[in-house]
Amino acid sequence: MKYQSQKVAKLYFIAAIGLFVGQILFGLIIGAQYIWGDFLFPTLPFNQARAVHTNLLIVWLIFGFMGAAYYLVPEEAETDLVMPWLAKLMFWIFLAAGAATIVGYIVMPFADLAKLTQNDLFPTMGREFLEQPTITKLGIVVVALAFLANIGFTILKGRKTVINLVLLMGLTGLAVFFLFAFFNPTNIVWDKYYWWWVVHLWVEGVWELILGSILAFILIKTTGVDREVIEKWLYVIIAMTLITGIVGTGHHYYWIGTPEFWQWWGSIFSALEPIPFFMMTVFAFNMVNKRRRNHPNKAAVLWALGTAVMAFLGAGVWGFLHTLAPVNYYTHGTQITAAHGHMAFYGAYVMINLAIISYAMPLLRGREAANSNKSQVLEMWSFWLMTISIVFITLFLTAAGILQVYLQRFSDNPLPFMVVQSKIELFYVLRELTGLVFLAGLIVYVASFFVGSREPEATVEGEVVAAS
């Protein structure tokens, strides 16, 4: 850590991990509700618990992105953050607003929350992933503006690197496209059409810019490969991302009342969406193979490589599985979508956050470069536990989805939804068991912050011969 103001990132990372734990606990609750339908009913109905699960995910990922930005922007710009106090203030505001909203989801029926927050005045709540009360949404905008100002002025003041610029573009895009969350017409087609401008253009658009720049930063730091090379790759990858991803939005416009041509445009461009993810995998392994030094923080390198692989599998391969319109006709809105969602979010966004946390936390806690061996071994255990769990969760949900599609939509005698659900219950049991393994991995992950913190830092066993 070179600049004092980078320290503010630590708060954000701690909050992110805390919320991550909450997200997984609620995931287990709704997973259990898939098996025992009356679990916690009527105290905590499925929809409220699911809103907690998904909203916590989004909020903790954004906490992680913000922490990452506060950590890497000063280091890249070679100057202190312009307003560290604002970063701290916004942290507490964001945390308080987020926590209040989550508590609201848990303790009261959704309709009461709507009343309490005056949803009548400006109704925006209750749409998937955008469940938040309007007042929370406004708070998010305020936090985002303050955050962007802080980061933006720091970048303007200091050295302008490609990583910083791309990160800033990604974060600005995140804020700009969020504004479509305030557009909520009665016409359901337009509601859905522009809802995707938030959701798709986030996760298959601007978030990938954030992902790319954080990954590039970690690779520069841990491999010592020439910045020029890494920045060029970064540009090529994000170019492919947006070239395919923007029109790829069309794969959400097949069955919502939008015209037929989207089936072609959406299929063709979203079929190309795996390309940038594939390039990212090639890029990460290439850079690590060409490394000029062995970094003592092996865990961070593992997370970075894991991100590249799992993002390709989850977002690329599992996305491609059901992105073509003729396939999507049968799979749209089934457990196949859920399977893809789980692996894509974990592979792309959870892992990149854990990677930057893994890289930055030891430094924020006063280490020279890395945690002790003992701590790293634990962290790598958690990597494998969580990653393998998510792979199996995805496989079980895919199996459930295939059966669901067959029984409910494809066979000669389509069965009602609830009948099908009881027939595929076995896979929900398996998913829940795997979810418990994931939780174990997460506990190991949290433990790795406390174990071995008094032991000496890990060191590298000898230098690499610089690859040509």
Of residues 184 and 382, the one with the C-beta less far from other proteins = 184
Stretch that binds other proteins, among 90-98, 145-153, 174-182, 189-197 (CB under 8 A): 189-197
Surface-to-core class of residue 29, CB atoms within 10 Å of its CB (0-12 exposed, 13-18 middle, 19+ buried): middle
Q: Any contact of residue 236 with other proteins (CB under 8 A)?
A: yes
CB 248, min distance to other proteins, A: 9
**Which residues ranging from 210 to 229 are in contact with other proteins (CB under 8 A)?**
228
Amino acid at site 380: M
**Which residues ranging from 113 to 152 are in contact with other proteins (CB under 8 A)?**
114, 119, 123, 125-128, 131
CB 325, min distance to other proteins, A: 8
Of residues 5 and 421, the one with the C-beta less far from other proteins = 421
Residues 6+ apart with CB under 8 A from 115: none
Q: Any contact of residue 9 with other proteins (CB under 8 A)?
A: no
Q: Any contact of residue 272 with other proteins (CB under 8 A)?
A: yes
Of residues 187 and 366, the one with the C-beta less far from other proteins = 187
**Which residues ranging from 306 to 325 are in contact with other proteins (CB under 8 A)?**
none
Figure out which of the listed residues 3, 20, 34, 94 binds other proteins, where binding follows CB under 8 A: 34
Q: Any contact of residue 46 with other proteins (CB under 8 A)?
A: yes
CB 43, min distance to other proteins, A: 10
Q: Any contact of residue 375 with other proteins (CB under 8 A)?
A: no
Q: Any contact of residue 274 with other proteins (CB under 8 A)?
A: no
**172 within 8 A of 137, measured Cβ to Cβ:** no
Q: Any contact of residue 293 with other proteins (CB under 8 A)?
A: no
Figure out which of the listed residues 101, 263, 281, 389 binds other proteins, where binding follows CB under 8 A: 263
**Which residues ranging from 429 to 458 are in contact with other proteins (CB under 8 A)?**
none
**53 within 8 A of 341, measured Cβ to Cβ:** no
Of residues 42 and 366, the one with the C-beta less far from other proteins = 42
Distance CA 158, CA 126 (A): 42
Q: Any contact of residue 468 with other proteins (CB under 8 A)?
A: no
Q: Any contact of residue 164 with other proteins (CB under 8 A)?
A: no
